[in-house]
Structure 1
Amino acid sequence: MYKFRAPICIWIFILYSLQAVGQGDKWTGTWHMDYTPTGSSKTISMEWQISEPSNKMLYPALLKIDYGSFSGSYEVLLCKKNDHELGIGRNKYPLSETPFKIGAWMLYLNGTLDFKPNGISIERMWINSFELYMQGFYHDDEIYGMMKDYLRELLSKKPILLKKKDNIPWKSPDTNRMIHPEGDTIYFGVYDKVTVYDSIIPVFIRDEDVDDKDTVTFTHNGKTLLNQQYVSPGGSLFQVKLDTGMNILGFFADNFGRLPPNTGSFRIKTDSVDAIYDFHDKSNYYSTFLVAQVYRKPKPQQPLPTVDNRVTERRNNLLDQITVNTGDVELELWDDAAEDGDSISIRLNDKFIVSGFPVLKRRQKLSVTLKPGENRMILLADNLGSIPPNTAVMKITAGKIRKYVRIKTDLKQNNLLVINYTP
């Protein structure tokens, strides 16, 4: 009998491994709850279908509510606040609602989905608004009044605990526009992508209204940088080290303070971006979270200067050092002795202006552009001509400045001209 135990153990191990792999992300899948209101013969069914996460933080989801003849389907974005909480997006976009609308009361579900041993619960951020409570109640046929009251009671007050039904992720063509809203008119709490070149960005957070004890949490690619941080009108500054590529910055309202709603904001300001993300904005009133997409694009690397042995192995003799107040310089070059086949190369700030340039009796002109500060011009002999050494005269014209230098180079030494440009 013993010889069969090892294969059985292996099969058990494989089955458990496959089950663990199949489970995937703990939030992903279908979560369900049934609730029968007191005095009602019908059951309200609530179901959340949650997709796989994007950037370890964003979970597009489909919320379904059914009660008697009522049926509603809503798209909603969830955002990871920490390992046991997902923020619930403000917008529950209705795909369908029949025979009446309850979309306004979806605002009561603002808050978090909290992961618990026995399921996930909705922890609301209470909105005390009579106007919201009554909104839409008397629309449509009065026969729906009791159904509306029961639905409103569930959305606004009753405990909601959902049990996991399966691990199948929600899939829809709409998930991409929910997390990448560029060019789309439906807003789920994610701002359009901005591109920066900095590896570290400053983030300034503040309260856009009065000091009423608002607190916020700030995350970067799933990592918590600030946890329940108090925000004041004076504000505070901190830095975020970006990853190369996409960075998802999550800004969560922990509470609505003493004067609802939360009016915290954060600002990113770099050489290429100046963006503000603000709970005080009308489209974000009573929001649980805001999301910034910051794409870090590294600056193109400058090509390394071409190594020329004539520069590294020869001496560089200083001809002169001049100061100019214009970056546009004209060079004139000619041989004031016998034309004997000399040719030179001219290198400015590690880049060749010309190479193998023949030195003639006739004057030849070249135009160069200087950078602010020190500019190093090296003149190198390509050959010695028929009458060594390699000689020439060069005239430098920069605005009103005229300067003549005599070039004398060979295969052991170069000439160096330093031009300081002061704008």
Structure 2
Amino acid sequence: MFKKIVLQKGVNLYIRKTEQFKTITMSIKWISELDAKQAAHRAVLSNVLQDSNAEYPQQSELRKALDELYGTVFYLDAGKRDNTHIISLNMECVNDEYLSTDGVFDDALKMIQTVIFKPNFKDGSFDESIVRREKRTVIERIRSIYDDKARYAHKRMFDLMRPNTPASISANGTEEDVESITSATLLDTYENMLKNDAVDIYIVGDVKEEELIEKIKEMFNFQEREFVRKPSELDTNEVKDIQTVFEKQDMKQGKLQVGYSTPVSFYHPDYPKMQVTNGVFGGFAHSKLFMNVREKESMAYTVNSAYAAYYGVVYVMAGIDAELEEKAVKLIGEQIDALQKGNVTDMELEQTVALLSNSIRSAFDSARGQIEIYDQYKYFDEDFTADKWIAQWKSVTIEDIKQMASQIKLELIYLLSGREA
């Protein structure tokens, strides 16, 4: 799917030559170990680098230059995956083949080069006023979780189930860690990122491969570096005590999170089987949770399950009336019991596989989707394709689902509800 070119040790270029799009999409990813304090620095850094640079010291100037490049899109973001933190620089521009002028892609590359290697420095460091502003932006992002009760309940679930682990560390760090950032510490983070992070460069579009490889080598001359990705180690200890936690806030609808542990992680050979199992359990509108908890019993306004594969967690999210918590938890547990007994119809299995297949195929309708899917699944197979993965889903049997469900163990019941409950 993607052609891999090793530019340096720890620096890889992935090219997908395709006539599918009239644009060229580029994504550069810097990958480091996930640490709360550095996550805060890196979240602010991504904002600061996006704001301006030495060539375009005002954000308005940078936006104007992008508009002149036929509306080239450019942005940075910070995220996490497993036990790594990722800063992504993303760019999309019109392919010169579809324009009356040449050089748009080359100019876009030069702009990206400037963003990376020529930040907006004052007296040898980042502009303090920009750093302060972007610190406020990241703090507001962190605080927004507390205003969104569903997101807050989700965060609390991981805090309780996997405290002080990558599962509970935010990609934005903590408010206190953001507050502690200075221009000097941000400069250290920037220099460390350029020198030590693993770097993956993705390009999708109708490009001339050999010519492009030489351009990237010349313009993005990252030095070799040592970074070894090590998957998180799952807590394989048997769950002894089920945590039950009730939390009160001023709100109307209760937010229920039911957390289960499983030894089947993203890197486990049974990962595709667990994806299908979660789909049958609560991943889609035909699933057991939706049909039995919401539709049949009308016990939840919303209900679905998700599979946090990197952390070995399957969890249920439901919006309920607080007084129905006990009944809802019991009914949710009955759906797991049904899976463990193999009470799954051929139709449930077929619909789940079809919807999983549609979701991965639809992701391939965009260049960004192709990059993100491949960036995740290449650790299984560098020749990964959607069809290969779909074939694994199609091979899953009801007996497989029964075996996967038997490894799902209840660990946490968490309810966030209103004070009047």
Tell me which protein shows more helix as a share of its residues.
2
Higher relative contact order (CA 8 A, sep 6+): 2
**TM-score normalised over the length of structure 1:** 0.23
Tell me which protein shows more strand as a share of its residues.
1
Larger radius of gyration: 1
**TM-score normalised over the length of structure 2:** 0.23
